[in-house]
Amino acid sequence: MTDFTPTPADRFTFGLWTVGNTGRDPFGEPTRAPLSAPYIVQKLAELGAYGVNLHDNDLVPIDASAAGRDRIVAEFREALSDHGLVVPMATTNLFSDPAFKDGAFTSADAHVRAYALQKTMRSMDLGAELGAHTYVFWGGREGTEVDAGGKLLSALGWFRDSLNFLAEYSESQGYGYRFALEPKPNEPRADIFLPTVGSALGFIGTLDRPALFGVNPEFAHETMAGLNFAHAVAQALDAGKLFHIDLNDQKMSRFDQDLRFGSENLKGAFTLVKLLEDSGYDGPLHFDAHALRTEDEEGVWAFARGCMRTYLILKEKARQFNADPAIQAALAEYHRADDELAALSRFTPQNAAALKDRTFDRAALGRRGLGLEHLDQLTNDLLFGVR
Ligand code: GLT
Ligand code: MN
Ligand code: MN
């Protein structure tokens, strides 16, 4: 039994934009003072995190001079090395500047699309300088309000061309990035292109170098679409495409809440942690969430500690689930296996003929109870801490 205190071996990461969130929302001004990047690095290291991720402009203002940029990056690198934190993932801010109001790679304006490529190449240079190996594309502004604009098909083509270009750029520079597409159904656009994990996986197959591309699913984003996040993650794992993950929480059908991990849907969080741990996923565990607007700085660190603590508790619960004799017996009952039928279900003409002739007791199959109410209550008891 541990005391659930994280260490870098747990691979927990936060974005500069997450713990650095000042509490601004569409209706209200910030409720907290900004925190400097070196200070965030120091605090995350104290809390036991492994790394910190960033957009280009989380660190370097969009209008910084070359000398200003170099000074900021040098200070940040010093903080990383002083506190032993790494930067596993980098990304581009292609959503804040008014230039991107109608998209970046999918803007109908060729000038905006070219500027987005330029900004992303520079941001990839920065990420590589900081040691990042994963590069995320969250296309927050890649979408529409007015479909009469007629860009639905061309937008996908522009998006594809841009991703192909940037993959070639990465390879030509020897950066060795793996790219992770992060889907979201809406917000800030009314409709965002590639809205779900499934859409992104389908799109990756159309790129020139699909092996370099995977997904960065986010709990809140699939939940906003009314989908089950663990199902989306399982599909990404099955495809060998879980390159990164954004952990947080969310009530269904609302704005992007980015709540503390496990704060809303504890059972969904458990299912997810168990899936990740059982699958052997060994990438970073990134919390893309922020403290509530009600909080001061102390609340920010309570939020960060809470994300990591909840993950570690659920990881321990997953271990207990796998070791619990009653739960394992219920699982064995549910997963009725049959070696002969498994062999028969491998296609050969003979097996196909034998299977067609076989007699099944359909009524008995329909009568068989699966024991899932019992299994689910055992799971609840485990999560409640009464087992
Ligand atoms: C923004 C968004 C997140 C993305 C970040 C990466 S930025 O906060 O809401 O889901 O992961 O671009
Ligand atoms: Mn989000
Ligand atoms: Mn995210």
CA distances to 9, 236, 313 from 385, in Å: 26, 31, 11
* Nearest ligand (C-alpha, residue 258): 2
- Tell me how far apart the alpha carbons of residues 310 and 312 are, in angstroms, rounded to a whole number: 5
- Phi, psi dihedrals of residue 195, rounded to the nearest 5°: -75, -20
Instruction: Examine the pLDDT at 180 and tell me if it is beyond 90.
Output: yes
Q: Is the pLDDT of residue 1 over 90?
A: no
Report pLDDT digits (tens) over 51-106: 999 999 999 999 999 999 999 999 999 999 999 999 999 999 999 999 999 999 99
Task: Decide whether any atom of ligand 1 lies within 6 Å of the 102 Cβ.
Answer: no
Residue 85's pLDDT is what? 98
C-alpha 82: how far from chain center: 28
Planar angle of CA 224, 225, 227, nearest 5 degrees = 105
Catalytic-labelled residue, pool 56, 58, 102, 249:
58
Measured CA distances, 115 to 107, 109, 192 (Å): 11, 10, 20
Query: Is it the case that residue 309 has pLDDT exceeding 90?
Result: yes
3 annotated as ligand-binding:
no
Q: How confident is the model at residue 276 (pLDDT cuts 50, 70, 90)?
A: very high
Work out the mean pLDDT of the chain and round it to a whole number: 98
| pLDDT score of 2 | 72
Assessment of whether the complete model's pTM goes beyond 0.85 = yes
Q: CA 311, 312, 315, 320 torsion: positive or negative?
A: negative
Measured from the Cβ of residue 71, the count of other Cβ atoms closer than 10 Å reads 13
**Mean pLDDT, residues 330-354 taken together:** 97
Partners of 285 in the β-ladder: 12
55 labelled catalytic: yes
**CB-count burial class (<10 Å; 0-12, 13-18, 19+) for 83:** middle
Residue 210 has pLDDT above 80, yes or no: yes
pLDDT in tens, 236-268: 999 999 999 999 999 998 999 999 999 999 999
- Whole-Å CA distances, 111 to 104, 106, 108, 116, 163: 10, 11, 9, 9, 17
- Residue 249 Cβ contacting ligand 1 at under 6 Å: no
Ligand with smallest separation from the Cα of 140: 1
**Closest Cα to atom 4 of ligand 1:** 138
Where do the H-state alpha helices sit in the chain? 16-19, 37-47, 56-59, 66-83, 110-129, 152-173, 197-204, 219-224, 229-238, 266-279, 297-323, 325-334, 339-344, 349-357, 362-367, 372-384
Which ligand 1 atom lies nearest to the CA of residue 140? 2
- Tracing tokens 């109001």 back to the chain, one arrives at 101
122-173 confidence digits (pLDDT tens): 999 999 999 999 999 999 999 999 999 999 999 999 999 999 999 999 999 9
Active site residue 381: no
Does the annotation flag 187 for ligand binding? no
Distances (CA, A) of 19 to 153, 220, 238, 297, 363: 37, 17, 32, 9, 57
> From ligand 3's centre to the CA of 288, what distance in Å?
5
CA distance 277 to 275: 6
